[in-house]
A and B are shown apart, each in its own frame.
Chain A
């Protein structure tokens, strides 16, 4: 056993030297690589994708990837001899290990202890993510497939907000990142036996990226086959996907900005905070900027700049935390607390709410909706029913960003954006390469700009 550990450590110890040229984990742009031939790597020419997740790792592929400066990560799943699997992967000279799934307690630590030089990334269920840890990358294999939700008969589903409902991971991503700046991967895969359009892939990439995470690109079987066969349509979609990824990677500053706006939601991530379709997503569908505040991190500073706060589960607060919220209201803030007896519940390994739970959540949602009304809490968006947005700002408050992601299969035209604050310049930026100054006009609460058309994604940069 001891010798095995030494051998393992020796192998792993070389890794940083072998791949000294590759970027830091925080810069890795991941894809689940479905092919084993080195020629497939030609698809990454001029692509921002630089990190391959491999379920099998033939030497030819790994070597060719290394020559191109690509990171290779062996994906290990629960079951079998984990140590042996890791040794085999590292012997094939991959850069690091991805542990995907929910492993027994201590399994990941065992790998890390034995291989201090290798990067080990855990893709766990949401509920097992080590929030606030120093992990190089925080990740989960669980996610909803973003898009406009349809009923069985193809009719668009109206959510509790009364708006078109959009399935999204943004609320979850915001909740995780509220614990502190982290590199977050969301590694859900297309539903088996489904065909995903090129536009949908772009939407999924943007859904994660607009809130500061990276989707681990995963191709459906049909698309992978067509792409491997270099079919023109598939190549075109692949290039568009790369353009979407590049768009966000070219703006690393966006990832370091903070959720902005005047509405704070105090919620326990261990309970409803990491769910999709919960209160954060409901507010997002209403296009109200929202800042999640983990209950454990509730402080006066966390509420700075907020004018409204929602305390989802009032009974879970400590006396000190209650006092912070009391002071918030004494200072003029409006506080909404969940109904008496309303409990934000833990959901184990499920990531969405069932119908009964949604109806329960409606109790608090109705009050939130009424409290927010048509107030501008940072930015108000019009004609964006098929879109979600994110409003973030730099630490000095001089720059604000409004990301727009369109989940419809058609472009949206004639969008109006009304924002609070005295911004002097507004610029429209798009993945297609647009960078256009927008005329700022006076709107009800501050300034406004109009956007002619948005395909899948666009960003408005506001500068004071």
Chain B
């Protein structure tokens, strides 16, 4: 099958059991080729933002929170390679975004992540990943960092409600940074995910939920402000409820399948905490899983940057660029053992997965195609 034929196939979506939601919003997505991090990432990103209508109108005089994708402990490496070249968003992309947002008039840019198994400063995690934090800080005077795995710099947790028909929880208690912001950006890696099929801007937001409340070591009644592990028991497996201080799971005990639970939680979270800008780092990445702890992950170099103003649209285009049908259902790659997060988010009205409705600017999907399942 040629690239053009493949695109025609996934656009027609013959595998779908359900038709695309006709009223789910659509927004343009920009794709740029970027063969390495040594290229002028700032210039490429600036051009992409221009293709999306300009960054200034989105961030001028605004507080911007950027959720990074720093999956797992920074000490865990694929063949010893720096995490930014495999499964973390790259600091050069982070620095470029900070610079451009500062130049576009943003008041503050707060880079956040719920770092693996710690409530310590996010800067420590970045340093442990080999990032030059001072260089990032110098990109723009309003740059800040916060580890959202616990209360962090806030005085209370923000309760963000799922607007309509929540799948898993009626609302989520998150670090204040996700509420105290005008603009929310998800900056993710273009990679697979063992539980969810793909890690893109939507799945990246599973990392907004703090381990202090949703972690294995979360307090029963109150948050544990010193979390020491991940979120398997609450999020993936449903073996326990989050701390009672937070809204509880709606149908606790009914489903323990991570392939069901995690995509549904993610869809809830992105409905509760809307994403205004999705940026996908596909310059260098991994295929076959989200991190070095997944057996058989492979290093890939798609050479792509993807950005969009709607996370579902951006992820749909990204999934297509990875060689997947963004509307594939459970049982079809990359969703062999899980539900499709993109469709679930579409069901919440976050955005459309229908490629026919998404305008792609810059490089076309055919030109960008890099099959992850080679």
Contacts and interface: CB of A to CB of B under 8 A. Distances in A.
Interface of A: 162-164, 373-374, 382-386, 408-410, 412-416, 441, 450
Contact of A413 (B73, B75, B76, B82): B82
B155 to A, nearest CB: 22
A386 B77 CA distance: 10
Contacts of A409: 80
> Which 7 pairs from chain A and chain B are nearest by CB?
A385-B75, A382-B127, A414-B130, A383-B130, A410-B80, A416-B127, A382-B128
Contacts of A408: 80
B117 interface: yes
A446 to B, nearest CB: 15
Contact of B129 (A164, A383, A410): A383
B132 interface: yes
17 contacts: A164-B75, A164-B76, A373-B120, A374-B124, A382-B127, A383-B74, A383-B129, A385-B74, A385-B76, A385-B77, A386-B80, A410-B80, A413-B82, A413-B130, A414-B131, A414-B132, A415-B130
Contacts of B120: 373-374
Interface residues of B, number: 20
Contact of A414 (B79, B80, B82): B82
Given A164-B75, A408-B80, A382 B132 contact: no
Contacts of A413: 82, 130
Contacts of B73: 162
Nearest to B129: A383
A385 B128 contact: yes
A409 B75 CA distance: 15
Given A374-B120, A441-B134, A450-B132, A383 B127 contact: yes
Contacts of B77: 385
Interface of B: 73-77, 79-82, 117, 120-121, 124, 127-132, 134
By CB atoms of chain B within 10 A, which of A384, A385, A441 has the most?
A385
A382 B28 CA distance: 40
Contacts of A164: 75-76
A337 to B, nearest CB: 21
Nearest to B80: A410
Contacts of A386: 80
Nearest to A382: B127
Contacts of B76: 164, 385
A413 B84 CA distance: 12
Contacts of A410: 79-81
Contacts of A373: 120
A382 to B, nearest CB: 3
B165 to A, nearest CB: 39
Nearest to B118: A374
Contacts of A416: 127
B161 to A, nearest CB: 34
Nearest to B125: A382
Contacts of B128: 382-385
Contacts of A163: 75
By CB atoms of chain B within 10 A, which of A162, A383, A415 has the most?
A383
A416 B91 CA distance: 15
A162 B75 CA distance: 10
Nearest to B82: A413
B304 to A, nearest CB: 24
A384 B132 CA distance: 14
B36 to A, nearest CB: 16
A220 B131 CA distance: 39
A373 B119 CA distance: 11
A291 to B, nearest CB: 24
B76 to A, nearest CB: 8
Contacts of B117: 162
A383 B117 CA distance: 17
B81 to A, nearest CB: 8
A21 B142 CA distance: 67
A196 to B, nearest CB: 19
Nearest to B127: A382
A52 to B, nearest CB: 36
Nearest to A448: B134
A374 to B, nearest CB: 5
A450 B132 CA distance: 9
Nearest to B292: A156
B92 to A, nearest CB: 12
Nearest to A450: B132
A155 to B, nearest CB: 8
Contacts of B132: 414, 450
A386 B81 CA distance: 11
Given A415-B130, A441-B134, 16 more contacts: A162-B73, A162-B117, A374-B121, A383-B74, A383-B127, A383-B128, A383-B129, A384-B128, A385-B75, A385-B76, A410-B81, A412-B130, A413-B130, A414-B130, A414-B131, A414-B132
A413 B129 CA distance: 10
A416 B132 CA distance: 8
Contacts of B134: 441
Given A162-B117, A409-B80, A415-B130, A382 B124 contact: yes
A441 B127 CA distance: 15
A384 B74 CA distance: 10
A410 B82 CA distance: 11
A408 B129 CA distance: 16
A162 B131 CA distance: 21
Nearest to A416: B127
Nearest to A410: B80
Contacts of B75: 163-164, 385
A63 B241 CA distance: 78
Contacts of B121: 374
A207 B178 CA distance: 46
Contacts of A162: 73, 117
A44 B129 CA distance: 41
By CB atoms of chain B within 10 A, which of A386, A408, A414 has the most?
A414
Contacts of A412: 130
Nearest to B226: A370
A360 to B, nearest CB: 20
Nearest to A156: B76
B335 to A, nearest CB: 27
